[in-house]
Amino acid sequence: MNLFSFSNIEERSETNWFSELKIPFETAKQSKIAQNTLQPDPILRPADIDVKYSTEEEILVIKFDAVSDRVLRVAISSVLESLKTVIETIDEFEGKFDEYLQ
Amino acid sequence: MSTPSAIYSNPSTTKHFTINKTDKHTTNGKTTGPSQFVLDAGIIDKDQPSTPNQTYLGDLRSQVTTLQDDLNEFLTERMQRENSIGKEEEWEKTLLDGGE
């Protein structure tokens, strides 16, 4: 049982506002890291918005399914803020030798 | 390598968002961070994004910021239009039947 999945708690409303984002990373490993980092974030109002993450090789695909433009805007902006932190973190630390843990 | 992209769709419209690699992109978004009003009041933005590295991922972070701005502006405009239509309908209802 997935404790982070709240999608069954509230009944889903009718959703008609969709958006799909494609973010091309350098490698498939990076896109998978981004997916695994963002995915556990619980959706605060699952009745109003659904967010799905997947990868196609090095491309991270994020699908939003919302009840209104307003909900969609908040969700997209929030996910992109987190995504920028993930990108920056990979950029700063990937492949760097960690001298403190030696 | 491609650039970040997005597709928006609702029952009546579909719009594609693409990022032009040759345009200048920065990590300072137009639609994120404190408002101009707050900045004019002398507040220092301590959460300002760092300058991007001269790497693929540095460029990607800037391009994602531009995509975020484009989507925010587009969706804000749609929300405002929706609000004004709602107000017009309300006004029309008030005019025709006293708002009942």
B56 in contact with chain A, both atoms CB, cutoff 8 A: yes
Q: Which domain holds residue B23?
A: 5-97
Is the CB of A91 less than 8 angstroms away from the CB of B5? no
Q: How many CB pairs under 8 A join A and B?
A: 88
Please, which contacts does B5-8 make with residues 24 or more away whose CB atoms are closer than 8 Å? B5/A21, B5/A22, B5/B67, B6/A19, B6/A20, B6/A21, B6/A22, B6/B67, B6/B70, B6/B71, B7/A18, B7/A19, B7/A20, B8/A17, B8/A18, B8/A19, B8/A72, B8/B71, B8/B74, B8/B75
Is the CB of A88 less than 8 angstroms away from the CB of B3? no
Is the CB of B64 less than 8 angstroms away from the CB of A80? yes
| pLDDT at res. B69 | 95
B28 in contact with chain A, both atoms CB, cutoff 8 A: no
pLDDT (average), residues B77-81: 91
Q: How confident is the model at residue A14 (pLDDT cuts 50, 70, 90)?
A: low
* Segment holding B67, helix H or strand E: helix B56-97
Pairing of strands B5-10, B13-18: antiparallel
So where are chain A's domains? 5-101
Residue-wise pLDDT tens digits, A1-13: 334 444 444 555 5
B55 in contact with chain A, both atoms CB, cutoff 8 A: yes
Q: Which of B3, B64, B78 faces A84 most closely, judged by CB atoms?
A: B64
The number of distinct structural domains making up chain B is: 1
Indicate if the pLDDT at residue B11 is higher than 90.
Answer: no
Residue-wise pLDDT tens digits, B33-60: 888 888 888 888 888 899 999 999 999 9
Indicate if the pLDDT at residue B78 is higher than 50.
Answer: yes
CATH of domain A5-101: 3.30.310.50
| pLDDT at res. A11 | 54
To the nearest whole angstrom, how far is the Cα of A4 from the nearest Cα of chain B?
Answer: 26
Residue-wise pLDDT tens digits, A58-95: 999 999 999 999 999 999 999 999 999 999 999 999 88
Greater confidence, A28 or B80?
A28
* Global ipTM: 0.82
CB A61 within 8 A of CB A20: yes
Q: Which residues of A touch B21 (CB under 8 A)?
A: none
Cα–Cα–Cα angle for A70, A76, A79, nearest 5°? Answer: 140
